[in-house]
Structure 1
């Protein structure tokens, strides 16, 4: 799959997501496929509110991730694995919202279940609020290659994942065929997670 998006498009989306509070303190990482064999990803530690075209690093979809200067995000191996798992993925966005971080710590299961929300239809392939939408959960680790391997095992076992997953106490990964679809998935997931968090807070007060 060859992306029709430009880095300028991705930069615009990253800045808007950061302005919405999804990438505080330089958190998060964002990438885009460039042709079949290459992707670009934000450099480690860059301020996502002011990210520029020059702060992206180009790396291969297959093969070893060479050391670069500046360094790519510490979680680059997860982006690379997603591009390898599904050649239709054109963009991967990783955000750090309060709702995603808190809910991922509260739920002991390996899946966060959503049902009954109209916004579920923001996720590709979802056509009704009556369906059960299962967002996978992975335990956090600093061993990103090991986490990428866990992702691949679950992807193969479940025949793919529904446009996103959570890392416990960390945040959300979402992707799409285009930058626009990946952004829609981020906004959809984040809305759903915020709704679920508010529901649980209200239930706890009763």
Structure 2
């Protein structure tokens, strides 16, 4: 694993996320695709701001099986689902920021629609602030297979771009490589903060 530059990039991204306060306590989980059959997923109960290579566990993407017998994140099934749905995705970052968590509860519909922000162009393929960026929202569930099944059903008809929110929980976002996933995370967090501030001001 030590020769994988994407692994080093993921560990650096985790430290950066920790410094931002987007994964308080031991919240959140991160992963990296290794090949068509395997990924690395963070071990359960680890502080994401101080991860080492040993805190990332080998997981079989098709089954979420962990050959080492150690315990990966409880939400590993969502990571492996995303890798199965979208072969182009190389890294997934799941965070618990205040802005993402609050907005996912304030917004009562099935998606958060972002429009009118120049920073939408931080998301791959976005060319104009006039376009709409739709971030799907799924109700939280401690039954991860059930939650994953709902995400899979949604994705059958509506491709998920950039990421999705879990209500009252946080954000899953991704990219083809760690750098793109990190850029998407930073861009979405900025947009979430702007949207939350806008709603607060308009409510006065």
Do both share a fold (TM > 0.5)?
A: yes
Q: How do 1:8-157 and structure 2 match up within 5 A?
A: 8-66=8-66, 69-157=69-157
> 1:202 and 2:201 equivalent?
yes
RMSD (CA atoms): 1.3
Which stretches of structure 1, 4 residues or longer, exceed 4 Å deviation after superposition?
66-69
CA contact (8 A) 2:64 2:80 kept: no
Distance in 1 (alpha carbons) for counterparts of 2:67 and 2:146: 19
> Per the alignment, in what secondary structure is the counterpart of residue 184 of structure 1?
helix
Q: Secondary structure at the match of 2:174?
A: strand
- Please list every run of 5 or more consecutive structure 1 residues that lacks an aligned counterpart in the other structure: none
Aligned runs of 1:177-188 on 2, under 5 Å? 177-188=176-187
| Distance in 2 separating the partners of 1:64 and 1:93 | 17
Deviations 1:30-58 (A, max 9, x none): 00000111000110110112111110100
Q: Which runs of 5+ in 2 are unaligned?
A: none
Structure 1 residue 146, shift from structure 2 partner? 1.0
How big is the shift at 1:70?
3.2
| Cα distance in 1 for residues equivalent to 2:66 and 2:41 | 13
Partner SS for 1:87: coil
Q: 1:98 to 1:135 in 2, by over 3 A?
A: same
Structure 1 CA distance, aligned partners of 2:64 and 2:21?
A: 33
Q: 1:174 to 1:197 in 2, by over 3 A?
A: same
Give yes or no for contact 1:96–1:172 (8 Å, CA) kept in 2.
Answer: yes
Distance in structure 1 (CA, Å) of the matches to 2:6 and 2:186: 20
SS at match of 1:161: coil
